[in-house]
Amino acid sequence: MNTPQRSAAPLDFYFDFSSPYGYFAAEKIDELAARYGRSVLWHPFLLGATFKVTGLGPLPSIPLKGTYSLHDIQRSARYFGLPYRQPSSFPLPTQHAARAFLWINDRDPVLARQFGLAIYRAYFVDDQNISDLAVVLDVAAGLRLDRDELSAVVGSAEIKTRLIAESELALARGVFGSPFIFVDGEAFWGADRLSQVEKWLAEGGF
């Protein structure tokens, strides 16, 4: 039997910093892809844009599903072996962090991932208010990024327009939740699909 041809194309990873499932996937996706010789392109977007299309809202606001999800998030953190503290304010706006990520990623994708993970941990481990620009700048400063430069960038019309465009591109691809992962054009929604992502990478599809 012929061995399936395996692609070397990067995975596309879409995430919102207010998503705990996005946090879980962010902690795992690069290592998972690397095991199969793949890289990952990280794409921040705003879940609020998808809510306008789907008619849904943040998980805690949805009857029955919200209560279940708050329990499942804690359980999923234990499953993935990741630290987690339910934030005192959940969810939060994430525009500042997403804009900062885009700007950093254009210059240094490795540093951008470090920043992205640090933002996620600040929110879901340390219960910091990542909707506060000062908190975002503190996280960036911890990675030796210039606070003043980044503050000016995050408030610029250019980066605001860029994030809107990125969110619209995500919608155009069918992204409706976080995390959302594309492997060779195949879409997977949710951190609980990481095992399927791995099977797809290992077998070249199924």
* 93 domain residue, yes or no: yes
176-185: per-residue pLDDT in tens? Answer: 999 999 999 9
pLDDT of amino acid 55: 66
pLDDT of 113 > 70? The answer is yes
CB 197 within 8 A of CB 181: yes
- C-alpha 170/C-alpha 164 separation (Å) is 10
Q: Report the side by side order of strands in the sheet with 186-189.
A: 40-44, 11-15, 180-183, 186-189
Count structural domains, the chain.
1
What is the pLDDT of the chain when averaged over all its residues? Answer: 93
- Which pLDDT band, with edges at 50, 70 and 90, does 2 fall under? very low
* 67 domain residue, yes or no: yes
CATH number of the domain residue 133 falls in: 3.40.30.10
pLDDT of 101 > 80? The answer is yes
pLDDT of 68 > 60? The answer is yes
* 3 domain residue, yes or no: no
Domain span at residue 73 reads 11-203
Residue with tokens 């996005």: 22
- C-alpha 85/C-alpha 98 separation (Å) is 21
- Which pLDDT band, with edges at 50, 70 and 90, does 1 fall under? very low
- Which pLDDT band, with edges at 50, 70 and 90, does 188 fall under? very high
* 2 domain residue, yes or no: no
* 33 domain residue, yes or no: yes
pLDDT of 67 > 60? The answer is yes
Enter the tokens of residue 11. Answer: 């995975």
170-178: average pLDDT: 94
Three-state SS at 7: coil
Residues in contact with 105: Cβ distance below 8 Å, sequence separation at least 6, in sequence order: 42, 112
pLDDT of amino acid 175: 95
pLDDT of amino acid 7: 72
* 4 domain residue, yes or no: no
pLDDT of 18 > 80? The answer is yes
Percent of the chain with pLDDT over 70: 94
Percent of the chain with pLDDT over 90: 83
